[in-house]
A = this chain, B = another copy of it.
Amino acid sequence: MESASGIEAALETAVASCDELGCPPRLAAALRYAVFPGGARVRPRLCLAIAAGCGDPQSPLATATAASIELLHCASLVHDDLPCFDDAAIRRNRPSVHRAFDERIALLVGDALIVLAFQNVARAFIQAPDRLPGIVLALARAAGAPVGIVAGQAWECEAATPLEEYRRQKTGALFVAATLGGALSAGADPAPWRLLGEHLGEAYQIADDVRDALATTSELGKPCGRDADLGRPTALAELGVQGAVEHFDRLIASATASIPDCPGAEFLRELVDLEAQRLLPPSLLQRAA
């Protein structure tokens, strides 16, 4: 998936809008720290690829939607890392936001990023307001309760966690928003794109579990073996490495097969293949063998 520089520029514009006179300086610095430098930006790249696949490449609307999806993702990382949840010291190879600043600032940065995600699409869609309700609803469903990231995270506070629901909400929901958001911002019907988001979200989660077990800390940018340490239920614990990789391959095949007829269908099928190789590179899998 492509257009990395467009995503970074859109995120820069969004974050810079908070650097206005009157913003408390530590908050402004921490907001920037939480967003840059980023990870693989996989969700916004997916969003842009779908918009391009729908025949609307380099769309400023899709770019804004993509940036907002990444802002919601960054918000969830900052809040998940807090002491009351993962108490993670390291994120993206450096101190997590609450370690680099403090817990109070990290709480507020997450809040501000959620707000900024909605503000950012509202600014962009002034030119196409009829598409804004759908975009806001797709982002909100992926981010909040009852079935978005917040809900997924809240399953960690229940006595029993339904594993599929947990994964679908905590990881899958934002992938679905990325495919729906890409289609919506291109003015296309979003419904045929839901399945692709669901399959890719699940595949990504499995790849994450496998990498958590097999990769090194510096490859991950955060401590590895963390799932096992926290006693989290993972695909690996359920299926073993070999089984997890097979499940991943099946999900990627389903994702490819789900791509609906559209101007860029062939291009999207190739992108999904490339992304699968990036997520679980052969060199990593050899380590398991």
Contacts and interface: CB of A to CB of B under 8 A. Distances in A.
A24 B84 contact: no
A238 interface: no
A136 B137 CA distance: 12
Interface string A78-118: 01001011000000000000000111110110111011101
Contact of A154 (B26, B126, B165): B26
A155 interface: yes
A139 B133 CA distance: 15
A7 B132 CA distance: 24
Interface size class of A (residues with CB under 8 A): 35 or more
* Number of chain copies forming the complex: 2
A137 B119 contact: yes
Given A27-B157, A146-B18, A146-B22, A136 B151 contact: no
A27 B146 CA distance: 9
Interface of A: 17-28, 31, 75, 79, 82, 84-85, 101-105, 107-108, 110-112, 114-116, 118-119, 121-123, 125-126, 129-130, 132-133, 136-137, 139-141, 143-148, 150-151, 153-158, 165, 169
A-B pairs, top 9 by smallest CB distance, nearest first, are: A115-B144, A23-B146, A119-B140, A122-B136, A27-B154, A20-B146, A24-B154, A18-B145, A112-B145
